[in-house]
A and B are shown apart, each in its own frame.
Chain A
Amino acid sequence: MAAATPEDSSSTHVEKKSKQKLSKRYWEESKNPEQKSKPEEEPSKPEEEPSKPEEEPSKDVQIQNAATVKERSFKRKKGESDQPVKEDPFPGQAPIPTERLQKFRRGEKHKTPAGAGRKLKEAIVFSESVSELAQKQAARYDLLLPEDAGFLEGDDGEDTSTISQDDIADAVDITSGSKYFNLDLSQFGPYRLDYSRNGRHLLLGGRRGHVACIDWQSKELMCEMNVMETVNDVKWLHTEAMFAVAQKKWLYIYDSKGVELHCVKKFNDVLKMQFLPYHFLLATASATGFLQYLDVSVGKEVAGIGTKLGRLDVMAQNPYNAVVHLGHANGTVSLWSPNQREPLVKMLCHRGAVRSLTVDKTGMHMVTSGLDRKLKVYDIRAFKPLHSCFLPAGASCLSLSQKGLLSAATGDVVQVYKNACGSSTLSKPYMAHRLRGQVCGLAYCPFEDVLGIGHDQGFTSMIVPGAGEPNFDALDTNPYRSFKQRQEWEVKALLEKVQPELIGLDPGQLGKVDRASFEQRHKERVEALGFDPLAKEKFKPIKKKKGRSSAGSVEKRKRKVAHEDQRDVIRQSVQEKMQRQKEVEEKSKEKRELGMKTTLDRFRK
């Protein structure tokens, strides 16, 4: 492109060298975004490129000749130089590549029906135009997300899984290298961990009561304590100012200084927790088989569901629709929403108990591992297994990164697989790392190429190139946000909180028309209210005085009213019957008339 420009400019103005140079710079500046937008075309068509810009200006000049003759003559009169007016070689807005447009497409375009009324036509046309504009603008602004993820590349014949973490840490820059570290915490047993939503803060919970939260990038300890009880699970709430700890008996909530804020005694024997960030719900699975939802914005229990499926120690959430997945000892995985007392879906995944499961960010795939030592990848939109593989040791922990890297802990080894959710089956790990103890917790750090591993002997932060999403939405989860920004975000997020009623398998259900019949809706209403608001009130005889309210007379009155009601009913039914009969008769009459007519009757006038 850059090579083409001098030719092009020389063709338009020949005489003046200085001007030419200036124009060249102008060219290049104007073309740069264009180049970026079409990265694929450039290498493929090197010959075509120079011809194309030549054509365009010439055309433009022609057009301009017709249009701006007057303008030029006017300028000449004023005594300016008679050099032709420069034209934009790429008039209009830059074209958007179709793939990118496709990325932001929302549903099918709806055509206006043929016999539509004016208002309908207007409504459809307007909505279509607006959605198209939205799509185009979004695609145009996608240019502002230039970061891309890269992966570890081995030399010829070298297996990337054999590259050790030390080597990687040595090879990369210091900042990235510092992201590989070990915390030696052998005293308080296997560790569970959780990263905050923006990936800045790390929460560690040792089984023997050690709880610590760390700003892991600066290695700054925020708080550390021992709760003097078994810790089953730890979870950050909506911000890094609060976290929940599932202890031996109850659920506790602490702030980032380690001060106990709440002890929620409604939630007992919690084994696993998940936090649904947009609903402000803390979902807990207990040893007694209860799945409970705590709304942390108002501190209320939204739903408590007795699953009747035994001890619940395998749990994951689907970030796409906020449905909670539970793994059970009988090899099934059940999907739950707080609105339904029974599982939305129950699927048989393994022959043995489910050991671990995880769902990817887009809500398309679910990965499970069971006691039968298999690792299965499911398409959870169709509820069909994509592929399964056999891990000799079986995976005890699973985790999917934002970019779709799957990590599986088999004993004291953590393996990372690329393309786990792709069409091809898993063949060999992309990376592997051996730890000093059994792995207990596994989590990818959001927006970082880091995998956190909690194990018997402490915590290990492992570098996994290509794991994290390189572009973050600063209005949603900003890793670099300030205190003030966090406060503002919190208010905004609370305002935009999604109600728990909207959780369901299809998050787009809200945008659809409810087609249930009136009867059904009425039935649901009655169920919700506990009584029928449209039901006729039962007759209650008035209490009369002076002995007129004797049992006999009351009964008589009641019977009178009942009799009247019955008469009404009968009258109505008789009327209906008559009407029906009439209709039938009319129909039969019509038929008879039609039957009497012959084909030749149509010619009769």
Chain B
Amino acid sequence: MAKSSSLQKTTLSKGVKVTFTVAADEEELPSDDDDEEAISASEDEEGSDDERKHNKLLEAISSLGGRKRKKQSERSEASVQVSEFAVNAEGTGEKVNLSDLLGTVEKNSGTSNKTKKQLRNLQNSKETLELPLNKQQTEKIQRGIAYEKTAQEVSCWNPIIVQNRKAEQVVFPLKQEPLGPRRVEQVVAGWKVQTPLEQEIFRLLHNNSQPVVDPVLTPVEEASLKAMSLEEAKIRRAELQKARALQSYYEAKAKREKKIKSKKYHRVQKKARRKEFLKQFEDMCKTNPEVALEELKKMEMSRMTERMSLKHQNKGKWAKSKAIMAKYDESARKAMQEQLQMNKDLTQKMVVLSDDEHESKDEESETVPDFVNDPEPIIDSVNPWMKGRLTREQPEVRCVTPEEAEAAVEDNTEEELLGEFERKRRLRQADEEGSTPAEEKEHASEVVVEENEDVVEISDNEENDDKEEEEEEEEEVDVSEFNSLFKLMRSEKTQEGQEEDGEGLLDEGPIRVQNMEDLEVLGEVFEPQPTVAPSRPQTAVAEAASAPTKKRNMEIDLREVLTKEAKVINVPFFPTVVEDEHDEQISIIKEAFAGDDVISDFMKDKRKQEAAARPKVVDLTLPGWGEWGGVGLKPSRWKRRRFRVKMAPPPPRQDQKLPDVIISEKRNASLAPHQVSHLPFPFENTAQFESCIRTPIGPTWNTQNVVKKMTKPKVVTTMGAIIEPMVKEDFIKSRTTTPAAKGPAIMFSGDKGARRGAKRPSERNQRRSQKRRK
């Protein structure tokens, strides 16, 4: 009985094994092979029982009469291994119960207690075993693992990438080796003794204390190496000549052959070429597998194209015409057949003979994902089927996250609540603050005369329709106000009389004439006058508005700007008596600009500009809607207020506080295409970016070295040099093992070193090419 249990185990394992091998070799090996292999294996194992075989043979012979075939395959006795072909499905209906098996285990003292316990547990448990995962899921898991693995593998490049990105300048090719033959020390510096033979040699060399410091190859030698001898050069030239001649012959021949029009000739040629090629290919397979593989790939490619195209499939015009003729014409049929044969030949799949062990191994490793070979953490130690599963832990994780998320959300809600309260409180405060000034404003617009901090403009008054009229009025008001100011000044001057002229605004010489009326007054400038004499009909209006307008001008004191103190300068060649000349000056000025009114003109101009810049109020009232309309009827006040869209006020003008300056608010649109309009990547605000480009880089503003440094190119390539991709060994290993690699100071004779130096790059190249093929 014990035997039977063991038997079962072995068969099981056997089955597994077989399937694996099949899976592995499915692609290249014919399936018959491994069957044979399996059989032979079983034979090897049970080489002892010849008797049984003999019996079998006998039975087979006896049954040749052929009645009961089934009977012969019946299992008669337990054996270590049973061929799977001998197993029949006799007891299919009945299930093998665990108890059946366990009974034997209990009795058997050989089995360990542990297994017994496990089995007992298994018996007690009512759970059915879980199904192994379906294909998609397993594949998904596999892909995940593969991704992780490759990600980890690739991550070793990270520091190098970061370093290269950070570097101010990268010079390509990265590994620049000096040209020409190098000295032995240079070649040997990074080289390690590896094979025992080499070690032996170097020990010997060490013992004999060969020269260490002095170069084995002297500079003279180097120079001689560089230069070529005459004979050598001659030989080289002859070789080249020969090669050129041969090439020209070959070209001529090819041309001649190309001109031959005979189809048969070409066909024969082609066939011959193919044959030759095949022969070559076979040779290549043995001698140079790499090239052969490449050839094979080419063939594969041609096969693909053939499969894609409709060529040689008797679909063309010619083929159709031939098909009609085929019934009667032998040659036509033949031609069609030929075509089909060609297609078949070309589309036939190539069978690769795997003679190279390494390659087959490689391929195996490619087809089977890596993790299959890895020792995996066994979750369920008993069940081998559950090895592929990894999902056990995931639900737990998922269980955890929602809780955390909930907690986080709760925290957030609390914070939000608090924030909301804060916001509300602030809003309320702002409302309280904001409402009062607004009210004040409204109040002010109604009561103009009241003293208020806010600047009040009459034009702000909404109710006034006749705006233009009002503006004119305003101008006049301003002008008149200016006049009054002047008069005020004059009166002050007269009061001061002949007092010392030092500080104060009034000792300046000429006085601007405003208009004709003032001109008349000019004659009696220095005579005392009553303060602010109303000389115009509008002055009443002016006075009415003077209080607020004066307020406005308090900020921008025109007086100070336009009649700034002017010091009189005595000039050596000009004995000037300024006091005497004042009258004369005034008279001259009077003559010169009798007509114009400079200041008011300027102010008008400025006001016009300001008005133009101010956004217009959009009036959307439709007269006649909801009420009577017609000539002389205006829409009601309520309506006007309701349908007038007020625009947001523009930002304060640059010249707001400069009364004698008008600064254009227009944008310089022509500059815009040259400016940066979008903030470039790493910068977060314009200040950062602007500060980064504030230093000019041109040679006009910098010294030569600084210019060079500032305009250093990010990438430098050497002309004509091949830029190879980075090789892992060169960078990652060298980074980790550089201090160790520097160590050996090995010396040996010169030519050996040279050879070694010459060999090394080729080795590296090979490695590289292999890597690329992968």
Contact = CB atoms under 8 A, between A and B. Distances in A.
Partners in one complex: yes
Interface of A: 106-110, 113, 116-117, 119-120, 122-124, 126-127, 130-131, 133-135, 137-138, 141, 159, 161-162, 330-332, 337, 339-340, 342-349, 351-352, 371-374, 383-385, 387-393, 410, 413, 415, 425-429, 432, 434, 475-476, 496, 499, 501-502, 504, 509-516, 520-521, 524, 527-528, 594, 597, 601-602, 605
26 contacts: A106-B696, A107-B694, A110-B687, A110-B691, A131-B695, A138-B701, A162-B572, A330-B598, A331-B598, A339-B669, A339-B670, A346-B605, A348-B661, A351-B599, A352-B592, A371-B593, A384-B658, A385-B561, A388-B567, A392-B571, A392-B576, A410-B574, A427-B567, A513-B690, A521-B672, A527-B669
B671 A390 contact: no
B263 interface: no
Contact of B671 (A126, A349, A510): A510
Interface string B279-306: 0000000000000000000000000000
Interface string B668-699: 11111111110101111011111111111001
B705 interface: yes
Contact of A340 (B168, B592, B596, B666): B666
A597 B417 contact: yes
A110 B592 CA distance: 56
Contacts of B694: 106-107, 131, 511
Given A131-B694, A372-B510, A501 B572 contact: no
Given A133-B709, A373-B510, A594-B420, A383 B658 contact: yes
Q: Which are the 7 A-B pairs with shortest beta-carbon distances?
A: A110-B691, A131-B695, A514-B675, A119-B682, A127-B692, A501-B670, A120-B682
Nearest to A414: B573
Contact of B509 (A343, A345, A390, A415): A390
Contacts of B365: none
A414 B131 CA distance: 112
B700 interface: yes
B157 interface: no
A346 B608 CA distance: 13
Interface in B691-737: 691-696, 699-703, 705-706, 709-710
A513 B675 contact: yes
A385 B571 CA distance: 23
Interface string B597-639: 0110110010000000000000000000000000000000000
Contacts of A432: 571-573
B683 A415 contact: no
Contacts of A387: 564, 567
Contacts of A496: 700
Interface in B70-85: none
Nearest to B695: A131
A425 B566 CA distance: 9
A516 B667 CA distance: 9
Contacts of A134: 695, 701-703, 706, 710
Nearest to A127: B692
B602 A348 contact: yes
Contacts of A527: 669
Contacts of B701: 134, 138
A513 B417 contact: no
B95 to A, nearest CB: 53
A133 B706 contact: yes
B566 A108 contact: no
A391 B662 contact: no
B686 A389 contact: no
Interface of B: 166, 168, 410, 414, 417-418, 420, 508-510, 512, 561-562, 564-574, 576, 578, 581, 585, 589, 592-593, 596, 598-599, 601-602, 605, 655, 658, 660-664, 666-677, 679, 681-684, 686-696, 699-703, 705-706, 709-710
Contact of A601 (B417, B508, B703): B417
Contacts of A475: 699-700
- B166, B596, B602, B691 interface centre (most CB from chain A within 10 Å): B691
Contact of A390 (B166, B569, B666, B690): B569
A135 B574 CA distance: 49
A159 B677 CA distance: 58
Contacts of A514: 672, 675-677
Given A348-B599, A427-B569, A340 B668 contact: yes
B695 A110 contact: no
Contacts of B675: 509-510, 512-514
Contacts of A476: 700
Given A372-B510, A389-B569, A391-B571, 18 more contacts: A113-B684, A120-B682, A127-B691, A130-B706, A131-B694, A137-B702, A330-B601, A331-B602, A345-B661, A345-B662, A348-B598, A351-B598, A383-B658, A388-B565, A392-B571, A392-B578, A504-B671, A602-B418
B705 A137 contact: yes
Nearest to A604: B410
Nearest to B698: A496
